[in-house]
Structure 1
């Protein structure tokens, strides 16, 4: 990536305390206590259905806790006004969709919505935030292109640029590299690293464990709605953790370039 994030964010402290979140009265995430390191990239990993996206939704105030709380800089997120929360926390959900014919610039402009109001209309500050977001995502030359003419990686970077334009201190990404090839994954993950380098607290749900190890500073491993391990990837990713999370026998090697764990699956174990 050649783009840069000129404005620096205020590193936000995001914490859950005894958090229960679920649907129809049944918790999916149970009694969860976690602190997401400020100004760093945290990857949430684990098998399908373990509660990763549900946790992310609670952090974004999309899901209301059944018990416990999410705290943003010590304040209960549920007690913060929705517009104020949207100025602090940005979410890119899975399978985000935009209206037909929308250009890249149009999409990125949506990121300024939380800053608008009856007494505050579009301003030079908003235009500047959009321009900086486009530059950060290397999309200036594509700004007037319709989204449906872009490659998968370019389109995903456009969605992340929308969140960048929102100028939040916390950025939450649900499977931002899903269905992308290796080159486009790297495009997106380099931008994610840039977000943290600019002071943002970034939390991403990722499926590939080796990719998470390489690009995240902190790992949160979940199974059955609970955290089974957390910490720096090189400290927590072991053959035992892979076995516990996925029921897979694996060898864990060290990436010769990054020094991070590389998971080499051998076989699926019997239930």
Structure 2
């Protein structure tokens, strides 16, 4: 199934030329307080693909994600949505186009899975636009996409970590945006639950052609699920492209200070990073 194109008739959307990158940055700098974290970044995110942002702690991955979703204001430069500065759009309009699931999402005690997923429809509500059959359909679709129908009436705090994360992602799916961003969606999950979540996220591009942007820590996992990878170091892009084209021992050394051997996954054909030891420090 292909993505539904943005049209001028859809509230809060902008029209994109087919095949043009929907989201890009131009000389974007971002920071916290007086510290600049992301520096003069020029970046294009390919449409209808999974982009994974990787890099060492403190390199600016989460800050970049916040800038792309306009939760962090640019210090200079711009984030462009179909060529238009993101700052020119209203918060509600952006929420209809870009969905963001932050790293530490919290919900009130006793909230059920269905209640949480319903929150995803808030950007579509207004004084003249109340709850509709389309909203109910979007919630049911999101529950089905996350395989959560049997858990829909359970309180979130009774679920496993993987189930809770699927519920949060289902809320983002119900928001029905063309672009979905997730900051470390598998943090604190065991291998099985992490795989469950990533398979669900990967399926979103196949199911509707969404553009998905993930921040992940594990490089081998990122290689498996990324169509496009952005490797960051010190607030800048060290490399970007398909994982099999950019993930090399030299890149791993530059990013993490680790010597490695790069193998090929015999099932998926993607790079597998095997750490050997710490790289000698350059004096």
* TM-score of Structure 1 vs Structure 2, range by shorter chain: over 0.9
Task: Give the whole-Å Cα distance in 2 for the aligned partners of 1:8 and 1:226.
Answer: 31
Task: Report the Cα distance in structure 1 between the residues aligned to 2:98 and 2:264, rounded to whole angstroms.
Answer: 34
- Kindly indicate whether residue 133 of structure 2 is the aligned counterpart of residue 124 of structure 1: yes
**Could you tell me how far 1:268 is from its partner in structure 2?**
1.5
TM-score, normalised on structure 2? Answer: 0.92
- 2:61 paired residue number: 52
**How far, CA to CA, are the matches of 1:226 and 1:134 in structure 2?**
37
Q: CA RMSD in A?
A: 1.3
Distance in 2 (alpha carbons) for counterparts of 1:191 and 1:75: 31
Whether 2:229 is the aligned partner of 1:219: answer yes
Measure how far apart 1:9 and its partner are: 4.1
Whole-Å Cα distance in 2 between the matches of residues 258 and 108 of structure 1?
A: 32
Q: Which residue of 2 aligns with 1:205?
A: 215
Distance in structure 2 (CA, Å) of the matches to 1:33 and 1:14: 11
Give, in whole Å, the separation in 1 of the partners of 2:41 and 2:223: 22
Q: TM-score, normalization: structure 1? A: 0.96
Counterpart residue number, 2:177: 168
> Are positions 1:62 and 2:45 aligned together?
no
Per-residue Cα deviation, 1:105-128 (whole angstroms, up to 9, x for no partner): 000000001001111111111111
Contact 2:3 2:48 in 1 (8 A): no
Structure 2 contact 240–246 (Cα < 8 Å) conserved: yes
Q: Matched residue of 1:27: which SS?
A: strand
Structure of higher RCO (CA pairs closer than 8 Å, 6+ residues apart): 1
Count matched residues: 266
* SS of the residue 1:96 aligns to: coil
Q: Name structure 2 gaps, 5 residues minimum.
A: 7-20
* Contact residue 177 and residue 188 of structure 1 kept, 8 A: yes
8 Å contact from structure 1 (residues 210, 261) kept in 2:
yes
Provide, for residues 186-242 of structure 1, a one-character-per-residue CA deviation record: whole Å limited to 9, x for no partner: 111111111111211100000000000001100000000000000000000000000
Q: Which moved more, 1:242-251 or 1:116-125?
A: 116-125
| Equivalent residue for 1:194, pick from 196, 203, 209 | 203
